[in-house]
Amino acid sequence: MIDFRSDTVTRPSKAMRTAMANAEVGDDVYGDDPTVNELEFWAAKRHGFASAMFCSSGTQANLLALMAHCQRGDEYLCGQQAHNYKFEGGGAAILASIQPQPIDNENDGTLCFKKLTAAIKPDDAHFARTTLLSIENTINGKVLPLSYMAEARDFTTRNNLALHLDGARVYNAASALNVDITEICQYVDSMSICLSKGLGAPIGSLLLGSEALIKSAKRWRKVVGGGMRQAGIIAAAAKIALEENPAKLQQDHDNAKYLATALNRLPEVSVNLSHVETNMVFATFAETIDITNLVTKLKNKNILVSTANPMRLVTHLDISQTDIDCFIQQLTNVLNANTKA
Ligand SMILES: *Cc1c(COP(=O)(O)O)cnc(C)c1O
């Protein structure tokens, strides 16, 4: 199968499988798993934070960050497109009594500081307490520049807010900006990283922050049922993902450009090439195309894509240029058959 649906679909490498098989383990709820402890210690240091926590998913890492930063009755500012507003089942509100205050994202994915300022509530019993700004980098494949990160830091400091970065794909941002990851991390109080997306680990995310924040987040992790036992099995693969795979993201980004350019040559498809900054391509198909039918026909040729228009296509470790050539060939065949019918 050639799977363009997401960068979460990668299979663990041989080195990961070996590391998982050989991992030293213990009960992580007791703090006894040496492989988890080593990963957390290393990851905190590597990203310039005092402390780190390994957890099961990016959704959980974001939720625990919100729970550690905010009290019941607090609110966090975020984008309408923010994953931790739109795509996490409303967890902050449902599970933590924390209210999101979304703001429209600008076209480049940023949040306008004027609009954010207007959304900060006065200290008055009518309002939730605004305590946190949560931003996302990358957001829908777009990169927030370092200058924006610095402005967000200034904005939050001036307004006495904490700053969380949903960095599910922050390594894609670092790769696209051609900077070390710490150039991005330096501006935020906490950051989540998905290890199971472009970095290719089978399971796991990290939350990074101060010692006090991670201590609180660990408490909440247990409360939401996220305390894991011999988690060294998956932490072993996560460490390899962090050490070996950031350097490979540039290839995914090059492949995304290659894919976007090839798609753009098809008369029924259009892609805004200037929006292809990392590993995501959004392809708009002509209205005459039956997307459901197209998806089924491609599936019969062992190609998986999402049923949506615009269609998001994501490049990752398990997609090569040859796979992209194969996809374009099969897509061309399907579209041609469609025209004849
Ligand atoms: C995927 C993603 C998450 C959540 O990660 P899961 O591991 O799928 O729960 C959070 N934020 C962003 C921006 C993501 O893309």
* Å from CA of 303 to ligand 1 middle: 23
Ligand 1 pocket: which residues have CB below 6 Å?
57-59, 62, 83, 136, 166, 168-169, 194, 196, 205
CA gap 159, 203 in Å, rounded: 36
Q: Which two tokens stand for residue 132?
A: 């946190």
CA nearest neighbour of 216 among 41, 51, 42, 27: 51
Residue 338: predicted pLDDT: 73
* Å from CA of 5 to ligand 1 middle: 14
- Predicted confidence (pLDDT) at residue 340 exceeds the cutoff of 70: no
Residue 140: predicted pLDDT: 97
Asked if 188 and 36 count as a contact pair (C-beta separation under 8 A), the reply is: no
Instruction: For residue 277, give the H/E element and its range.
Output: none
pLDDT band at 310 (very low <50, low <70, confident <90, very high): very high
CA gap 98, 322 in Å, rounded: 47
CA nearest neighbour of 187 among 148, 242, 142: 148
Residue 335: predicted pLDDT: 95
pTM value?
0.97
* Å from CA of 83 to ligand 1 middle: 7
pLDDT digits (tens, 9 = 90+) for 112-149: 999 999 999 999 999 999 999 999 999 999 999 999 99
- Choice from 10, 83, 184, 279 to test ligand 1 binding pocket (greatest atom count within 8 A of CB): 83
Alpha-carbon distances of 225 from 55, 58, 97, 129, 266, rounded to whole Å: 11, 15, 17, 27, 48
The beta strand positions in the chain, using DSSP E, are 2-3, 51-55, 74-79, 99-103, 129-136, 162-166, 190-194, 205-209, 269-271, 280-285, 303-304, 311-314
Domains and CATH numbers, the chain: 12-244 (3.40.640.10), 248-340 (3.90.1150.10)
Contacts of 198 (CB under 8 A, 6+ apart): 7, 169, 171, 172, 245, 249, 252, 279, 316, 317
Other CB atoms within 10 Å distance of the CB of residue 114: 9
pLDDT digits (tens, 9 = 90+) for 164-199: 999 999 999 999 999 999 999 999 999 999 999 999
Q: Check residue 38 and report its DSSP letter.
A: H
Q: Can you state the angle between helices 321-340 and 291-300, rounded to 10 degrees?
A: 130
Average pLDDT, the chain: 97
Residue 341: predicted pLDDT: 53
pLDDT band at 227 (very low <50, low <70, confident <90, very high): very high
Asked if 27 and 33 count as a contact pair (C-beta separation under 8 A), the reply is: yes
* Å from CA of 329 to ligand 1 middle: 31
pLDDT digits (tens, 9 = 90+) for 265-290: 999 999 999 999 999 999 999 999 99
pLDDT digits (tens, 9 = 90+) for 75-113: 999 999 999 999 999 999 999 999 999 999 999 999 999
CA gap 67, 69 in Å, rounded: 6
